[in-house]
Copies of this chain bind each other. A is one copy, B any other.
Amino acid sequence: MKSKGILSQQLELYFMDNINKAILLELQRNSRLSMRKLAALIHMTAPAVTERVRRLEEQGIITGYTIRIDQQKINPIIEAYVETFMKSSHHQEFLKFVQAQKEIRECHRISGNACYLLKIEVPDQGTLNTFLEALLTYANYRLNIVIASTVKDA
């Protein structure tokens, strides 16, 4: 086994050829594929593809195997994007608030008008109201309720 210098190790770290791209694409479409079937899809053998998948995991490119769930079928929710304008510069406290509030699904620090863009999900208007009152402690906001969405698959 050949030893490698630091540089080549780093270059290799995020090396991404067409085969790896194909692997990611197929696993994204169906993560339950066995290594054999995956190998067949990309015209390779199981051991080779297994090793590549192992590396993709090791490098943190594949960060998990999960399912897509139709949340709306389970319990309908109200989605909203909330632009927040910090009242003071207590960002640390605000970020703690973000972590604590389960209604907040995403928090994006953005340039431009607002300080943060929050994506929230609440079961009903009452919960929304409570949440917004809590938010007011930290920031003024502009509420954008989602009426319809199109999300493209990766």
Contact = CB atoms under 8 A, between A and B. Distances in A.
Contact of A31 (B61, B65, B70, B146): B65
Interface in A49-77: 59-71, 73-75
A6 interface: no
Copies in the complex: 2
Given A31-B31, A81-B117, A152 B65 contact: no
Nearest to A64: B68
A109 B150 CA distance: 9
A89 to B, nearest CB: 16
Interface residues of A, number: 54
A66 B63 contact: no
B110 A146 contact: yes
A144 B29 contact: no
The 10 residue pairs across chains A and B that have the minimum distance between CB atoms? A110-B144, A112-B144, A64-B68, A109-B148, A109-B147, A31-B65, A63-B68, A107-B150, A32-B65, A111-B145
Given A63-B69, A106-B149, A108-B144, 10 more contacts: A30-B66, A32-B32, A64-B68, A65-B68, A66-B66, A79-B108, A80-B110, A107-B150, A110-B147, A113-B142
